[in-house]
A and B are shown apart, each in its own frame.
Chain A
Amino acid sequence: MVSERKKFKLDRISALAIVIFILGCFLVLQLFNIQVVRGEVYTALASGQHKIYQNLNPTRGQIFIKRNDYNINNNLYPIATNEKRHEIYAIPEKITNPVKLSREVAQILNLNEEELKAKFIKEDDPYEPVLKYATDEQVAQVKALESPGLGFVPQDFRLYPEANIYGHLTGFLGFDENRRVGQYGLEGAAEEILAGQEGKLSLETDTLGNWIPTSKKDIVKEAIPGSHLVLTIDNAIQFNACFALKEGVEKYGADSGSIAIMDPKTGAILALCGYPDFDPNNYSKVEDINVYKNQVVAESYEPGSIFKPITMAAALDSLSVTPETTYDDTGEVKIDVYTLRNSDQKAHGIRNMIQVLEESLNTGAIFAMRQAGQEVFTDYVKKFNFGKPTGISLSPESPGDISSLDKRGEIYAATASYGHGITATPLQMLTAYTAIANGGILVKPYIIAETINPDGSKTKTEPKSLGRVLSAKTASNLSAILVSVIRNGHAGKAGVTGYYVGGKTGTALVPKKDARGYSDLTIHSFVGFAPVDNPRFLAIVKLDHVKNVSYAADSTGPIFGKIAKFILNYYEIPPDEG
């Protein structure tokens, strides 16, 4: 009997021991799971909810220009950067005196007191936005009120320190539904590069939407910040060009204007301006959203007489004419039922090809086109890259329209020869002129000099040639003719004393919108480069719907002359003469 009772006791102890052993094993396994397997998750959680927010949302890349006078960050001056600001919000259920608080906050933040009061008096409301992107000074002043009913959340504010000057280049960071996306300019075109990649953290939530820390489905992936862009823009040339454009638009009574300046040997854009401009820091405060469009790349127009050198290049390069080839200018050319005339409606008698450009004769351009032949002329226009986007990193970009050249009928090629019936953007015109300024070789325009990747590595943009369009001899002859256009022709005001500057004016009629034919409005353009024997810059100036003067020689010519003088002095280029 006794031995049976003892035996029974031993079995119970054994059972208890086994249970305790099993529980102990389970405890060890759970500790291993929490500390080792999911340790990173709990580390992230322990860092605070703010740090989790930072890990998920990437920092947007900055946009820089090189400035030798800016001694920070390897001379990289930010024209688009991120500033840490705060959103101020109210917790109405915690506000004890909404009337007093709304008065104090409205005074500090310069807001409407009644609107704030309407938000603060909602008793069961846990959140009401007060002000987004508040500065540090504003936050400090509001914090000094020491109200438990006010809260602060960090926010990244996209800052553009130079404001209007770079508005068309940078674009701005806008909204697409609830997401922030770049729009227009580089912010739009390089959105994927600048935005980076979001990190991911997913946990199971309870019925109230709160995260359950012990849940099993969780993945943590760190956000990858955006890459930075370094532009080819020269800050001094950009500022000078934009200032001259603004002055010119106001002086000559234009509706708008644009300027682009390029290094003709590499295609690097040195300056790019549009007027009227806008402040990307306050992009919503514009009267007309069309101001966001960068006219240099987004708007194509009938270029007019600045297209004549392209026609002459085709005729010279195909050996159809020489600079001394003559024709009899009777003032008009009849094609089918159409009569095409010179802009001054006059006949000028015997004229050579140099005089065709000096005096901007439409009949001379038609003659040169006819000598080359319609097909050859069309081929050259396409070789100059018209009708296609340049591929520059700015959005949106218009490809222009040269479809009329594919139609039968000489009338289309005839009008195209002096820049009507076809359209091109200012950047396409500038790109075409690189072949003349660069010894016959067309170059691709680009504006991003370098991309700085998140890991610190750099990707440099190499200049790209689009092939030889003209022989070196044709380019040289044409450059000399363009110098003569300024010295002996209409474009005298575009010249700079002591320098060989080549260029061409264009006073183009604007087509009617709802009918055939042309209106009384004009678009004035000038394209030029200097010094002609070793061009350091190539520029186009365009003014839309000019009212105070009749011809481009009196509007865009002087603007170009002013900019050219500045650039020649800025680059310390001594005069070609004397």
Chain B
Amino acid sequence: MSKFHRLFRRKYCYSSNKAKKIKDDCPYTRYSLAICIIVILIFGVYLFQVNGITKTGYKLRELEDRAGELKLVNEKLEIKTAKLQAISKIKKEAEALGLVEVDNIKYIGNNDVAIASVK
């Protein structure tokens, strides 16, 4: 007979009248009860941890979605800026403002390099 059977054998562990006798005659009952409690506790901790991780995971996903939305908004603004700063558009607005092209530029001074020495 295996240990497994001995743990659950009724004849030894569940004699109806004498609790003390049960205790003395059934050390396996205590062990098995302890193992069950430990397993249940471990399972409980695991559930708690998984739940916490899942909650954090949802929060992370919300933040990722928000980051994605902001990135999209940023891209749209960049495109809007590029359209507004197209040089053909700027030229039209410059003409509307009455700005004229530069002509007849006069350069003041020359390109000579001045070198001074201190004695």
Contact = CB atoms under 8 A, between A and B. Distances in A.
Given A84-B75, A84-B76, A161-B82, A575 B88 contact: no
A165 B87 contact: yes
Contacts of A239: 87-88, 91
A574 interface: yes
Interface string B46-85: 0000000000000000000000000010011011011101
B102 interface: yes
Contacts of B72: 84
Interface string A144-165: 0000000000000001011111
Contact of A569 (B4, B78, B85, B102): B102
A72 B81 contact: yes
Contacts of B3: none
Given A165-B87, A574-B111, A14 B81 contact: no
Interface stretch (A73-81, A297-305, A338-346, A514-522): A73-81
Interface in A114-172: 136, 159, 161-165
Contacts of A236: 87
Given A10-B5, A569-B102, A574-B107, A159 B79 contact: yes
A536 to B, nearest CB: 15
B116 interface: no
Contacts of B96: none
Contacts of B82: 77-78, 81, 161
A268 B4 CA distance: 85
Contacts of A73: 78
A8 interface: no
Contacts of B75: 83-84
Contacts of A25: none
Given A84-B72, A84-B75, A574-B111, A165 B85 contact: no
Interface residues of A, number: 26
A236 B90 CA distance: 12
B88 A72 contact: no
A44 interface: no
A70 interface: yes
Interface residues of B, number: 22
Given A17-B4, A574-B111, A161 B105 contact: no
A165 B72 CA distance: 27
Contacts of A165: 87-88
Contacts of A476: none
B86 interface: yes
Contacts of A235: 87
Contacts of A574: 107, 110-111
Interface string A537-578: 000000000000000000000000000000001000011000
Q: Of A84, A165, A574, which is in contact with the most chain B CB atoms at under 10 Å from its CB? A: A574
A162 B87 CA distance: 7
Contacts of B110: 574
A161 B83 contact: yes
7 contacts: A14-B5, A69-B85, A161-B79, A161-B83, A163-B88, A574-B111, A575-B107
Interface of B: 1-2, 4-5, 72, 75-76, 78-79, 81-83, 85-88, 91, 102, 105, 107, 110-111
Given A84-B76, A162-B87, A239-B88, 20 more contacts: A10-B1, A10-B5, A13-B5, A69-B85, A72-B78, A72-B81, A77-B82, A78-B82, A81-B82, A83-B75, A84-B72, A161-B83, A163-B86, A165-B88, A235-B87, A236-B87, A239-B87, A574-B107, A574-B111, A575-B107
Give the top 7 A-B pairs by smallest Cβ distance, nearest first: A574-B107, A161-B82, A239-B87, A161-B86, A162-B86, A161-B83, A83-B79
